[in-house]
Amino acid sequence: MADILRRARATAYAHTGTMHPRWEHIRSAGRRAEELARTGLVPRRIVVAAWLHDVGYGPALLDTGFHPLDGARFLRSNGWPEEVASLVAWHSAADRDAERRGLEDQLAAFAPPPQLELDMLNLIDLSTSPTGAAVTDCERIAEVIARHGPSSPTGSAKIIAREELLASSARAKAYLGLPESWPAPVETDRNRTRERAAKVKAAVAGCC
Ligand SMILES: [Fe+2]
């Protein structure tokens, strides 16, 4: 099983390692999954999927332009476990996004993963900023909507799926025994805390 994890890291790097800051996001998500796996509650396939969840952004894998689907197809055609391909296909409300792109039938070629497994992958993705920093699920969803635009397929999908995604990450946090605010960092500098809180408040207005 260690081999598949090494292969996942190497495959992710081969396809996205020169994409910045995409690679920093992917590397942090993979490392965060590895840390969570130390609890013994996170199956290895979740860790593998965390390393590979955004591999579909790799230029060589570009097909539909919808990274969960392009990534999942690549994984399936290259002999990765079907469970991993399904997790990648469905991560972070990809089904909502696929509907907006007219790709729902193609996404349906991958069976929906078990809900709790998808919850854990969603939590990992939602707790990792585009540059790899630790963020809360609320912050991350607001950031995605702002970055893609609320009327874009991805932005509008996140608006529609926001409550589903928050419920998904909440289930994973409850299962893993993590606090609701996870992975909010412990700030020792009170000014930094205030500054960060103000930014978050502005960014997630209407979120939580
Ligand atoms: Fe991601």
Would you list the DSSP string of the chain?
A: -HHHHHHHHHHHHHHHTTSTTHHHHHHHHHHHHHHHHTTT-S-HHHHHHHHHTTGGGSGGG-SSS-HHHHHHHHHHHTT--HHHHHHHHHTTTHHHHHHHHT-HHHHTTSPPPPHHHHHHHHHHHHTB-TTS-B--HHHHHHHHHHHH-TTSHHHHHHHHHHHHHHHHHHHHHHHHT--TTTT------HHHHHHHHHHHHHHTTTT-
26 Cα–ligand 1 center, Å: 6
What phi and psi, each to the nearest 5 degrees, are found at residue 134? -80, 130
25 Cα–ligand 1 center, Å: 7
9 Cα–ligand 1 center, Å: 14
- In which band, very low, low, confident or very high, does the pLDDT at 149 lie, cut at 50, 70 and 90? very high
Q: What six digits make up the tokens of 36? A: 């969570």
123 Cα–ligand 1 center, Å: 10
72 Cα–ligand 1 center, Å: 14
Determine contact, residues 51/26, Cβ cutoff 8 Å. yes
45-76 pLDDT, tens per residue?
Answer: 999 999 999 999 999 999 999 999 999 999 99
118 Cα–ligand 1 center, Å: 13
29 Cα–ligand 1 center, Å: 7
pLDDT at residue 29 is higher than 90: yes
186 Cα–ligand 1 center, Å: 23
Domain range summary for the chain, segments of one domain joined by +? 2-203
pLDDT at residue 127 is higher than 50: yes
- Please indicate, yes or no, whether the overall pTM of this predicted structure exceeds 0.75: yes
Angle at 159 between CA 156 and CA 163, to 5 degrees: 150
Q: How far apart are CA 50 and CA 197, in angstroms?
A: 28
pLDDT, mean of residues 3-30: 98
- In which band, very low, low, confident or very high, does the pLDDT at 86 lie, cut at 50, 70 and 90? very high
The per-residue pLDDT for 190 is: 45
